[in-house]
Amino acid sequence: MKRISRRTFVAAGAGLLTLYKSLIPGRSDMAHGFEYTPPADYPLSKERQEALARASQAPKPRVVKVCENVYTALGYAFAAIILVVTPEGVVVIDTTESLSAAREVMGEMKKITSLPVKAVIYTHNHADHWFGTKAFFGSGIQVIAHEDFAREVKLQDSRGDSGRIRAAAMYGLLLPEAMRAPWITTFPWPVAPNLRWEGVKPEDLVMPTLTFKDKHSFEMGGITFNLLHAPGETPDQIIVHIPQYKVVCPADNYYACFPNLYTIRSTSSRPVLGWAAAQDTVMKLEPEYLVPGHGAPLEGKEKIKEVLTNYRDAILLVHNLALEAVQKFKPLEEVVAQASLPPHLASLPYLKEYYGYIPFCVRSIYQSYVGWFDGDPANLRPLSRRELGADVLKIAGSAEKVLEYAATAQKEGRHQTVLELGDMVLANDPKNRIARLMKISSLQALGRSTANSPMANYYTTFAAMEKMKMDKPS
């Protein structure tokens, strides 16, 4: 599997920081009598400031005791490592994206028990759940996953550089850490994942040694582990039930913010109805402890039931908004613009849109039913930005007139207008410096306006990539 190395990311990140420092507010550019001065740095939105304040309250990396013999390691990397101690040995559930983080957790585990690791469970194929396995792996250790695990890994890798670039942008991997928008969960207490993308050599990746289809159970030291296939965030997602400890690990089918039913980093449509059904599967197990792959554990059977019921209902509500648009032939853009949770769900701390974003999810669910065509004949053969832009330029009389209008829109905070008009100008005149400067400024503004981590990082990364285009020798 081809991966972008840590060296590449570090070099790119340093380059982006240099580019940002070169965007000096107050510097003017002029073209045919039209002068443009990029605005000073845009302030962070109130929502973003609140998210950062909560992130600052998150404890430092630590191993949290969930209940007797069950621990979760939080804050060492992007995902948690769950440790289950049995009389015979330790079962490790997920291992993060980082070998160094996994080694740190291994060191903490040795303070808890001298027993060896006997098995590793992968809840799904995402890199932040299995790239660190070599820190725990040794002779005779069983590595268990769903039978679709390898297929999903290959599918993600098949997206090539596009998938890697989009993932890097979404997680801010090319940005200096201080500029990266963190993803946080705030319930029942704040946890700020520490993304540690180090690049893993293919020979350091440990593939499953045992796979299963629907269910798999095994015992370790008299403790039963029930593994249940529960498609949701990924088709290969599994739930881990440990009945003697009254623990359920829901993997990424639950984390304490609105779920990422669609991800902008490029994946296939996610099984949203399965994601909702997974909440019912967990509730039927009546856990006293819920230990997710991201964020803090949750305790109390009734509290867990209440949270998962609301989580399921939020997923179904968003799904039904999209399906109703399909069934009633509603304009997709209108539905997307109005999509939101009702107040009794939107106010819940574990349904904030810090990771998943409802408009993106509605659009993806809609397309999972009917594909890209929304039924409007005008969208059967839409014009490219270049073609439509050429007409807009003719109507306006010149690119400068379009950019003057875009500058007014930018002052009014209508940054999406600036992006689209700027793209129309650039499609017809790629060397138009003012159009690109405007686009960079509005991308920066959009990145600072949202508390949604993937969206903020994506905007900010592409602002720097646009600066690269401007500085590239012709």
What's CA 2's distance to the chain center, in Å? 21
Any idea which fold 6-41+383-471 has? 1.25.40
Give the closest residue to 437 by CA, choosing from 452, 426, 424: 426
Structure tokens belonging to residue 458: 């994506």
Beta strands in 75-146 (DSSP E): 81-85, 90-93, 117-121, 142-146
Q: Which helix (H) or strand (E) holds 64?
A: strand 62-67
Crossing angle of the two packed helices 160-171 and 149-157, in degrees rounded to 10: 90
- CB–CB of 287/304 below 8 Å? yes
The per-residue pLDDT for 18 is 54
Instruction: Report d(CA 335, CA 333) in Å as an integer.
Output: 5
Any idea which fold 47-313 has? Metallo-beta-lactamase; Chain A (3.60.15)
Give the closest residue to 255 by CA, choosing from 92, 74, 125, 109: 74
Instruction: Report d(CA 455, CA 449) in Å as an integer.
Output: 10
0.85 cut: is pTM over it? yes
CA distances from 178 to 13, 303, 440, 458 (A): 11, 36, 19, 15
Strand, coil or helix: what is 118? strand
Instruction: Report d(CA 107, CA 101) in Å as an integer.
Output: 10
The per-residue pLDDT for 436 is 95
The DSSP code sequence of 207-252 is --SEEESSEEEEEETTEEEEEEE--SSSTT-EEEEEGGGTEEE-GG
What residue type is assigned to position 39 of the chain? P
Give the closest residue to 231 by CA, choosing from 260, 270, 264: 270
What residue type is assigned to position 108 of the chain? E
Burial profile 447-461: b = 16 or more Cβ within 10 angstroms, e = fewer? bbbbbbbbbbbbbbb
Strand 117-121 with 90-93, pairing:
parallel
- CB–CB of 34/437 below 8 Å? no
Q: Which helix (H) or strand (E) holds 326?
A: helix 301-327
Q: Could you give the residue range(s) of every CATH 3.60.15.30 domain in the chain? A: 47-313
The per-residue pLDDT for 167 is 95
Instruction: Report d(CA 297, CA 295) in Å as an integer.
Output: 7
The per-residue pLDDT for 377 is 96
Place of tokens 């942008």: 169
The pLDDT tens digits along the chain (474 residues) read 444 444 444 445 545 555 555 444 555 666 555 789 888 889 999 999 999 999 999 999 999 999 999 999 999 999 999 999 999 999 999 999 999 999 999 999 999 999 999 999 999 999 999 999 999 999 999 999 999 999 999 998 999 999 999 999 999 999 998 889 989 999 999 999 999 988 888 999 999 999 999 999 999 999 999 999 999 999 999 999 999 999 999 999 999 999 999 999 988 889 999 999 999 999 999 999 999 999 999 999 999 999 999 999 999 999 999 999 999 999 999 999 999 999 999 999 999 999 999 999 999 999 999 999 999 999 999 999 999 999 999 999 999 999 999 999 999 999 999 999 999 999 999 999 999 999 999 999 999 999 999 999 999 999 999 988 877 765
Q: Could you give the residue range(s) of every CATH 1.25.40.880 domain in the chain? A: 6-41+383-471
User: CA-based diameter of the chain, in Å?
Assistant: 81
Instruction: Report d(CA 192, CA 77) in Å as an integer.
Output: 9
The DSSP code sequence of 294-310 is SS--EE-HHHHHHHHHH
